[in-house]
C-alpha cells in the first residue's frame, strides 16, 4: 500500500505542477499563454476559462473525498490535453513541438490509475 501511495503522489504531484504551470500564464494573460493561443487560432478570452478550469481541477484532485468530482476533474484535464494535442496537430505544428504532450498524458493516466489502485486497497481493508 505504501508503494502505491508513493507512486500516486509522484504522478499527482507532477500532474499538478504541470497543470499549474500552464494555468497561471493563462489566467495572468502572460505572453507564454497568449502566444500559444494565437498560434493555435483560438480567441484569447478562452485562456481565462481554461486556466480557471485547470486550477479547479487541481484543487479537486488534491482534496480528499469527493470521488465523483475527482472523476470529472480527471476527465476535464484529459479533454484539455486531447484538445491541445489535436489543435497542435491540426494547425501544422511540427511533431517535435507537440510530442512532449505525451509526458503530460503519462502524468494524468499515472495519477488516475494509481488513484483507483489506492481506492481499491483502502476498500479491501
3-state percent helix, strand, coil for the chain, nearest multiple of 5: 85, 0, 15
Model confidence, pTM: 0.91
Calculate mean pLDDT across residues 96-108: 89
Mean pLDDT of the chain: 92
Q: What is the pLDDT of residue 125?
A: 66
Closest residue by Cα to residue 104 from 124, 74, 68? 74
Q: What is the pLDDT of residue 109?
A: 97
- Contact at 8 Å (CB) between 47 and 37? yes
Q: What is the pLDDT of residues 4-58, one digit of tens each?
A: 999 999 999 999 999 999 999 999 988 878 888 888 889 999 999 999 999 999 9
- The whole-angstrom separation of Cα 111 and Cα 22 is 18
Q: Percentage of the chain surpassing pLDDT 90?
A: 73
Amino acid at each position: 500500500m505504501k508503494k502505491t501511495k508513493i507512486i500516486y503522489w509522484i504522478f499527482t504531484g507532477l500532474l499538478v505542477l504541470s497543470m499549474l504551470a500552464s494555468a497561471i500564464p493563462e489566467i495572468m494573460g502572460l505572453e507564454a499563454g497568449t502566444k500559444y493561443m494565437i498560434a493555435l487560432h483560438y480567441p484569447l478570452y478562452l485562456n481565462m476559462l481554461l486556466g480557471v478550469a485547470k486550477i479547479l481541477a487541481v484543487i479537486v484532485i488534491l482534496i480528499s473525498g469527493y470521488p465523483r468530482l475527482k472523476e470529472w476533474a480527471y476527465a476535464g484535464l484529459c479533454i484539455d490535453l486531447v484538445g491541445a494535442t489535436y489543435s497542435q496537430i491540426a494547425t501544422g505544428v511540427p511533431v517535435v513541438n507537440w510530442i512532449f504532450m505525451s509526458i503530460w498524458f503519462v502524468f494524468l493516466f499515472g495519477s488516475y490509475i494509481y488513484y483507483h489502485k489506492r481506492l481499491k486497497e483502502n476498500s479491501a481493508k
